[in-house]
Amino acid sequence: MQCWTTRHVMLRCSSHVDESVLNRGISTSSSSLFSFAQTIPNHLQTALHIMKLSLLGPTALAVSTANAALISGDNNPGYIKYTTVQGYFLQDEPSTNATTFNYTTTNFGLINRTYPATEGLCADLTQWQLFSRQVEALNAAAPLNTVYKTIFMGRHGEGYHNAAESYYGTPAWNCYWAQLTGNGSATWEDAKLTSLGVLQAEIAHNFWKHQIEVQKIPYPQSYYTSPLARCLATANVTFAGLDLPVYYPFRPTLKEFLREGISIHTCDHRSNLSTIAQSYPYYTLDPSLTEVDELWNGVTAEDDTAHEKRMLALLDDVFTNDDHTWISFTSHSGTIATLLSVLGHQPFRLSTGAIIPVLIKAEFLPASHAPKVQDGAFTTSTWCHNAPPITSSKDVEQGCVCSKTGLRCRV
């Protein structure tokens, strides 16, 4: 396997590399290689530099890799353009009804079809084995600045906050109950899974087991999870105990940016890092995580634009630092919806415990190609302070119609 990586970008990592593709950058003279490098961002020039040094031997490559961060120029990281590659999954199709869709009865939604990479193949392969070869072929034939990854995005199982919203109704939940830590019978601050939520994660576990054994689905090579309790538990129930290869173990990395949209709801208030580490000692803690949750304050909430920028930052982090092709995210309804949006995927709302795979094309481009985006913001939210709302109305903020003494804007 040939693999050239830097901390910023994977140029090629495939066991089935098209030599004619690689020859565009390797078999040329030094002058033509560096002439080509002048047209791409600094971090891609670094990768090409390392690729060239790899031809000179392991010592030169080791020195270059060790200094990649210094050479690349972190002040000009370039821009990554993300695209959902359509035509492979039912969830990509406008005709698919997200409300009634069941990933466990549809082979994760993978469409039964032939692929250019497998035409004429006589081997008796499953649809997932065929799709895996197609993804390998896409990466092998891609330009040096392009990579394809498949991400399985799983929503956590039902949490106590989900059950409370169903019980009280969305207006009463948003306007009053969600700002409390519980109701005396249940606690939903950094909500844990209900018994139904655990069952939904067990269903996901059993389905993954079936897919691995029968469909020969590619193993996830990397696992990432939101640091909120409901996701930590869902990931653990889903993947722990599966017959995974020793080289792709289930050791998920906690990503702060994979958490739900930051609101004033206590269910979105993360537990202290030491508490998480004690409960899940084999989980990897991302260096960006702080002991105390510094993003949630119970006063201000993240707007849609801020959430979108956070998702792009998350994708940039994963695509520039993880050279694996098959990746698992365990996250939340709002965050997965926002991820799908920035990836250009059609809206596809997941029920609790559901999973959606997405084939993603990432193109590493000069910073000048980046579209202009608005700055996100955190704003205060209005809610009924003393009691649940009297009624609800679509004409007022969050649908809250509070008593005269109960309306309070948290500042």
Q: List residues with catalytic annotation.
A: 156, 260
Chain centroid to CA 81: 15
Round to whole Å and give the CA distance between 143 and 267. 44
Query: Among residues 162, 138, 165, 164, which one has the least CA distance to residue 150?
Result: 138
Rg (CA), the chain: 23
Q: Is the dihedral of CA 289, 294, 298, 301 positive or negative?
A: negative
SS3 track for 177-233: HHHCCECCCCECCCCCECHHHHHHHHHHHHHHHHHHHHHCCCCCCEEEECCCHHHHH
Which DSSP category does 153 fall into?
E
The answer to whether 263 touches 334, Cβ cutoff 8 Å, is no
Query: Among residues 185, 328, 203, which one has the least CA distance to residue 255?
Result: 328
